[in-house]
Amino acid sequence: MRGPHTTRREMLKASGVGMTAGLATTAGCLGDDESVAVASMQWSEARLMGYLGYEMLQENTDYTIEDEIGLGGSAQVFEAVRNREVDLYHLYTGGAWATIPPQRDELIGDPQELYERARDDMEEEHGLVYLEPASFNNTYAIGANPAWTDETGIETLSGLAEHVNAGNTDMDVVLGPEFQERSDGWPGLVDHYNFEEAAEDIEIQTVEADLTYQILGEEEADLGMVFSTNPNIQQFNLDVLEDDEDFFLPYNPAPLVNEETIEEFEIEEPLNEVSRSLTSEEEVIELNVRIDIEEEDAQEVAREYLEENGLI
Amino acid sequence: MASYIEFTFDHSNELVELLIEHIELVLQTLVFALPLGILLGVFIAYYQPAAVTVLWGAGVAMTIPSLALFGLLIPILGIGNPPVIVALVLYAQLPIIRNTYIGLTSVDQSIIEAGRGVGMTKWQRLYKLQIPIALPVMIAGIRNAIVILIGVATVGAYVGAGGLGFYIFTGIYQANVEMVVVTTIVVSLLALVFDYGFKSIEQILQLRNGEEIPLTWGAKLLTRALP
Per-residue pLDDT tens for A254-304?
999 999 999 999 999 999 999 999 999 999 999 999 999 999 999 999 999
pLDDT band at B30 (very low <50, low <70, confident <90, very high): very high
pLDDT of residue B70: 87
CB–CB of A141/A248 below 8 Å? yes
- Radius of gyration (Cα) for chain B, nearest Å? 20
Complete DSSP assignment for B159-197: BT--STHHHHHHHHHHT-HHHHHHHHHHHHHHHHHHHHH
CB neighbours of residue A300 within 10 Å: 13
pLDDT of residue A18: 42
Average pLDDT, integer, range A163-179:
92
B197 CB burial (10 A radius; 0-12, 13-18, 19+): middle
A214 interaction partners in chain B (CB closer than 8 Å): 71, 74
Report the candidate in A183, A179, A167 with the shortest Cα–Cα distance to residue A223. A179
- Domain boundaries, position B139: 2-183
Please determine, for residue B225, whether its predicted confidence score (pLDDT) is greater than 80.
Answer: no
Please determine, for residue A28, whether its predicted confidence score (pLDDT) is greater than 70.
Answer: no
pLDDT band at A197 (very low <50, low <70, confident <90, very high): very high
Please determine, for residue A38, whether its predicted confidence score (pLDDT) is greater than 70.
Answer: yes
Q: Does B223 fall in a domain? A: no
Given its phi and psi angles, is residue A47 left (phi above 0), alpha (psi -120 to 50 degrees) or beta?
alpha
Does the beta-carbon distance from A206 to B170 stay under 8 Å?
A: yes
Nearest to A207 among B159, B173, B175 (CB): B159
Does the beta-carbon distance from A207 to B74 stay under 8 Å?
A: no
pLDDT tens for B45-77 read 999 999 999 999 999 999 998 888 888 998 999
Complete DSSP assignment for B118-154: TT--HHHIIIIIIHHHHHHHHHHHHHHHHHHHHHHGG
Average pLDDT, integer, range A205-213:
91
pLDDT of residue A103: 87
B159 interaction partners in chain A (CB closer than 8 Å): 207-208, 211, 215
Average pLDDT, integer, range A213-236:
94
* % of chain A exceeding 70 in pLDDT: 89
* % of chain B exceeding 70 in pLDDT: 100
pLDDT of residue B176: 85
Query: What is the Cα–Cα distance from B61 to B122, expressed in whole angstroms?
Result: 31
CB–CB of B219/B204 below 8 Å? yes
Chain B interface, best mutation among A173, A178, A222, by max B CB count within 10 A: A178
Would you call B166 an interface residue with chain A, using a CB distance cutoff of 8 Å? Answer: yes
CA distance A87 to chain B (A): 24
Would you call A181 an interface residue with chain B, using a CB distance cutoff of 8 Å? Answer: yes
Whichever domain contains B41, its CATH number is 1.10.3720.10
Chain A interface, best mutation among B79, B84, B172, by max A CB count within 10 A: B79
Nearest to A178 among B80, B159, B173 (CB): B173
DSSP structural state of residue A112: H
Q: Does B174 fall in a domain? A: yes
B67 interaction partners in chain A (CB closer than 8 Å): 208, 211
Q: Does B199 fall in a domain? A: no
Average pLDDT, integer, range B77-86:
92
Would you call B74 an interface residue with chain A, using a CB distance cutoff of 8 Å? Answer: yes
Average pLDDT, integer, range A113-119:
96
Would you call A266 an interface residue with chain B, using a CB distance cutoff of 8 Å? Answer: no
Give, for A163, the enclosing helix (H) or strand (E). helix A157-165
Please determine, for residue A248, whether its predicted confidence score (pLDDT) is greater than 80.
Answer: yes
CA distance A224 to chain B (A): 13
pLDDT of residue A249: 92
Query: What is the Cα–Cα distance from B132 to A165, expressed in whole angstroms?
Result: 63
Please determine, for residue B211, whether its predicted confidence score (pLDDT) is greater than 70.
Answer: yes
Would you call B71 an interface residue with chain A, using a CB distance cutoff of 8 Å? Answer: yes
Burial state string for B55-88 with b = 16 or more CB within 10 A and e = fewer than 16? bebbeebeeeebeebbbebbeebbbbbebbbbbb
Report the candidate in A245, A242, A239 with the shortest Cα–Cα distance to residue A151. A239
pLDDT tens for B87-143 read 999 999 999 999 999 999 999 999 999 999 999 998 899 888 999 999 989 999 999
pLDDT of residue A33: 62
Query: What is the Cα–Cα distance from B88 to A103, expressed in whole angstroms?
Result: 39
A178 interaction partners in chain B (CB closer than 8 Å): 170, 173-174
pLDDT of residue A32: 53
Residues of chain A numbered 3-62 and touching chain B (CB < 8 Å): none
Number of independent structural domains in chain B: 1
List strands edge to edge, sheet with A239-241.
A203-206, A172-175, A223-227, A140-144, A239-241
pLDDT of residue B213: 81
Given its phi and psi angles, is residue B210 left (phi above 0), alpha (psi -120 to 50 degrees) or beta?
left
Nearest to B75 among A180, A218, A221 (CB): A218
Nearest to A177 among B67, B71, B169 (CB): B169
CB–CB of A192/A243 below 8 Å? no
Q: Does B120 fall in a domain? A: yes
Query: What is the Cα–Cα distance from A33 to A27, expressed in whole angstroms?
Result: 8
pLDDT band at B207 (very low <50, low <70, confident <90, very high): confident
- How many CA atoms are closer than 13 Å to the CA of A104, on its beta-carbon side? 18
ipTM of the complex: 0.74
Nearest to B79 among A176, A178, A220 (CB): A220
Q: Does B211 fall in a domain? A: no
Does residue A132 sit in helix, strand or coil?
Answer: coil
Q: Does B164 fall in a domain? A: yes
Does the beta-carbon distance from A207 to B79 stay under 8 Å?
A: yes
Q: Does B202 fall in a domain? A: no
CB–CB of A206/B157 below 8 Å? yes
Nearest to B160 among A174, A214, A218 (CB): A174
pLDDT of residue A64: 94
CB neighbours of residue B21 within 10 Å: 19
Query: What is the Cα–Cα distance from B101 to B186, expressed in whole angstroms?
Result: 33
- The average confidence (pLDDT) of chain A is 88
* % of chain A exceeding 90 in pLDDT: 77
Q: Does B65 fall in a domain? A: yes
pLDDT band at B172 (very low <50, low <70, confident <90, very high): confident
Query: What is the Cα–Cα distance from A5 to A8, expressed in whole angstroms?
Result: 5
Would you call A216 an interface residue with chain B, using a CB distance cutoff of 8 Å? Answer: no
- The average confidence (pLDDT) of chain B is 91
Does the beta-carbon distance from B170 to A75 stay under 8 Å?
A: no
Chain A interface, best mutation among B73, B173, B174, by max A CB count within 10 A: B173
